[in-house]
Amino acid sequence: MTYEIDINRQHCTTEPRPGQCLRTYLRERGWFGVKKGCDAGDCGACTVHVDGEPVHSCLYPAVRAAGRSVTTVEGLASPEGELHPVQRKFLDAQGFQCGFCTAGFLMTTAALDEDQLTDLPRAFKGNLCRCTGYRAIEDAVRGVRHTELPCAGKAVGSSLGAPAGPQVVTGTARYTFDIEVPGLLHMKLLRSPHPHARIASIDTREALQVPGVQAVFTHEDSPDVLYSSARHEHPTEDPDDTRILDSVVRYVGQRVAAVVADSEQAAEEGCRRIEVAYEQLPHVTDPEAAMRDGAPALHGDKGPEARIARADDNVAGEVHGEIGDVAAGFAEAAVIHEETYRTQRVQHASLETHGCVAYFEPKEDGTGERLTVRSSTQTPFLTRRALCALHGLPEDEVRVVAGRVGGGFGGKQEMLTEDIVTLAALRLRRPVKLEFTRPEQFYGATTRHPFTITVKVGARADGTLTAIQMRVVSNTGAYGNHGPAVMFHSVGESFAVYRAAHKKVDAYSVYTNCVPAGAFRGYGLGQVTFAVESAMDEVARRLGLDPLVFRERNIIGAGEPMLSPIGEEEDLHIASYGLDQCLSVVRKAIEEDTSEVPEGWLAGQGTALAMIATGPPGGHYADATVSLLSEGTYDIAVGTAEFGNGTTTVHKQITAGALNTTPDRIAIRQSDTDVVRHDTGAFGSAGTVVAGKAVLLAAGSLAERLRTFAARYTGVPRHQCVLGAEELDCAGRVVTLKELYEAAHARGAADELAADGHWGGSPRSVAFNAQWFKLAVDPDTGETRILRSVHAADAGKVMNPMQCRGQVEGGVAQALGATLFENVRIDERGEVTTAAFRRYRLPQYADVPRTEVHFMETADAIGPLGTKSMSESPFNPVAPAFANALRDATGLRFTELPVTRDRVWAALHEAAGARGRASAAPHEAASAMPDLELPS
């Protein structure tokens, strides 16, 4: 019987492969709006309608769709192209950031009836979003409009929609794998089952006999070159301790071999048929144990060229420093708090997994082919540089392109697939694709660094800090990508935001046989801020001071030096100061709060603050070119990748303001090493303050050039040539931009129609954030309920309030996930045991409260047009603010993340038991818990 199916009003008779799911069937037909996020029905990114009913197409057998009508997001609009009402609502509310989940939310929403619309927490149980914090999605469903219409020359400060918004809501935005590549081969990776082993032998003969298998690559095929998977402008920031394929494996999940085949199924079968003999080696998963004598040295074979601090002791990097004399500082303190705080591994959980496709394209001069790598990366230029160094290629032989990236959060500041895919493509001279599965994302990508922080804080009776001391141990896992840099950054601004005459730090980034950690939103500051802000709260309470007053008494002030025991960073300045305003917002929220507490529940409120540099140290470079086009419109060429960070919108707003035009008259080319100049990458909150400054310089320069040429062209003094949206008014004579373009080309002055801008990321400013929670705790079950969430952000001049608010809300939501339940768990062998969304709990719609976001009135002296970064910093104060509120409610100090419901219940239960024991033997119980305040 003939297989027949209608897809978006188009008839199809191609039979699916045996066992094929509907998602892959639809994508193979070119319906790329259907996304792959989990393969398990957990995330909802693949939602489509079958005969009008929403289904997760990754779980729906394609054969079951026979004789049915299937609608994807591309088919929601009318045949005439008119947007579906739900698409229009999401566009008006900007109910998306990276947009990878958006098609799923649209398809789910479009199928909801009136009753279901009244219960969105239940309606959206099957859909996940990692970026937005869900508020923008709810507003979209409710029909709330946030976008504003552009006005010539006044784009900056307006809530303009993302340029790619129409493509996102119609499913036509092109992410990494949303292209058709003829003759594509598929790669799958064989991964290590052991935490530490040497490969004694590897037999690939059976794998090569699998029909469709084209090649198998092992360590014998790998270049003998050490590198780091981390991407930084200066590669020496990271230890070179990694090989594409190694003869020694150092964690469960490390790649051992790569099979390339005509299909994913054949490649997977090839992996199963590889026979590997391992010589197992001792392993260590605890960083303290890893630094002790007798521990196995994971990288003991590396020499000084690898830039490992102490390879024999498993120390990837370390920093030690002291300002003043902490012993003297503690001697003069009336109160001293000392405690050890612990943070866990967290997965970035971007819905688009890591992956890339490499293929060959003819050179423009017709002299042969060159390699193109299309990758889900935050760093296309740095990735090209690394690939060329690894494989001995000149840079003009390699092009790296980032399409729209489906979430990053620092996880894609890493080269995890491009290196091995390039190896295969170069050897086979065929297109090759590698796309991580969701489990691989957990055990084959990177996580947030787990930290153990022992903090000691002393203060006088009047609340003046005397000394701060920390010992920090960061578990970098099997490889040191980002390890030393994250450790170093973690003890910078976390120390410097408070005044104290005496400060000391000893910090270590330590190798273990665990999944590698890497860059993650906040870059180490979130972990240490949890400890510092929890400690500050304890000191205030022991002094009998309001924790907010205590902070106000000790925070750094405008114009003061930012002193950390690791040394003062000369290019870092307080170029605008809004921390006092942030704390005033919190104070007002406390004073005016009227939220009701459920009967019988405990209630508490807590605050935390954070400071972060607006860009990484050591230089973060961006080049931009702004040009006038033949139609009288403009073009921006800038390297920054777009993954929901909003830089595309902001760059167009900056340009529109400088050229007195509207953003719709500006095109943008980005994140393609062929068509734009160098950009370090979209990380370190640099998209606006670095690349944005390069764009501003280029646009401002072009405006001057256009006025100068118009003056020569018309004979009117330059100061009388006024640039408008589509023309120049030269003392009453109107010259359209199109006419000016034609005149410049006719006179051989085309070079005056484009201008370049460059910014090196230095000097840098700092941004401030404060978070306040009021919460309630059920003493019988341990359930916590956030009654109010208030976030104050000092972002300088806010370029796009709607977008910036979304960054804050998304950062708070992601941080709440890390605070309340997210935890990449490992067993005693270091193997990840939570390698699926249903085992690793991400915040769902029902888990995230609405956060009241307040922006401070400041203008930065360094950032472009007075702005500062605001993509990473909202994450950092959330966990300690929650822990401080929980302490206020329960009297119990939680020192380890996540603060899960069962941990809260267990602590309350233990406290109640201790109170009972105290009643029976008060002296004995009091000596066991001297500082415990029990809930009444």
Is the distance from CB of 416 to CB of 350 less than 8 angstroms? no
Instruction: Identify the pLDDT of residue 933.
Output: 36
Kind of pairing, strands 185-191 and 634-638?
A: unpaired
Instruction: Identify the pLDDT of residue 1.
Output: 66
Can you say whether residue 632 is alpha, beta or left, with left for phi > 0 and alpha for psi between -120 and 50 degrees?
left
| Lookup: tokens for 432 | 């090759």
Question: Would the CA dihedral through 29, 31, 37, 42 be positive or negative?
Answer: negative
Is the distance from CB of 127 to CB of 95 less than 8 angstroms? no
Which residues of the chain are under the pLDDT cut of 70?
A: 1, 921-936
**What number of residues does the chain have?**
936
Distances (CA, A) of 96 to 162, 371, 688, 697, 884: 9, 33, 19, 30, 31
Is the distance from CB of 493 to CB of 609 less than 8 angstroms? no
Tell me the CA end-to-end span of the chain in Å, nearest whole number.
73
Distances (CA, A) of 430 to 6, 187, 386, 388: 34, 12, 21, 18
Question: Could you give the CA distance from residue 267 to residue 716 in angstroms, rounded to a whole number?
Answer: 69
Kind of pairing, strands 185-191 and 255-261?
A: antiparallel
Is the distance from CB of 684 to CB of 615 less than 8 angstroms? yes
Element of type H or E holding 466:
strand 465-477
Q: What are phi and psi of 564, to 5 degrees?
A: -130, 150
Instruction: Identify the pLDDT of residue 77.
Output: 95
| Of 114, 116, 115, 139, the residue nearest 126 (C-alpha) | 116
Helix, coil or strand: residue 610: strand
Q: How many CB atoms lie within 10 A of CB 909?
A: 13
Instruction: Identify the pLDDT of residue 927.
Output: 36
The 10 Å CB-count burial string (b at 16+, else e) for 876-901 is bbbbbbbbbbbbbbbbbbbbebbbbb
Question: Could you give the CA distance from residue 381 to residue 678 in angstroms, rounded to a whole number?
Answer: 6
> Any idea what the Cα angle at residue 551 is, between residues 548 and 556, rounded to 5°?
145
> Any idea what the Cα angle at residue 585 is, between residues 584 and 587, rounded to 5°?
60
Q: What is the DSSP letter of 195?
A: S
Question: Could you give the CA distance from residue 101 to residue 406 in angstroms, rounded to a whole number?
Answer: 8
E strands, 1-57, are 5-7, 10-12, 47-50, 53-56
Written as one string, the DSSP assignment of 308-361 is -SBGGGTEEEEEEEEES-HHHHHHT-SEEEEEEEEE---B---SSPSEEEEEEE
CB-based contacts of 606: which residues, under 8 Å, 6+ apart? 537, 547, 772, 773, 880, 881, 882, 883, 884, 885, 886, 887, 888
Q: What CA dihedral angle connects 474, 475, 478 and 482, to 10 degrees?
A: -40
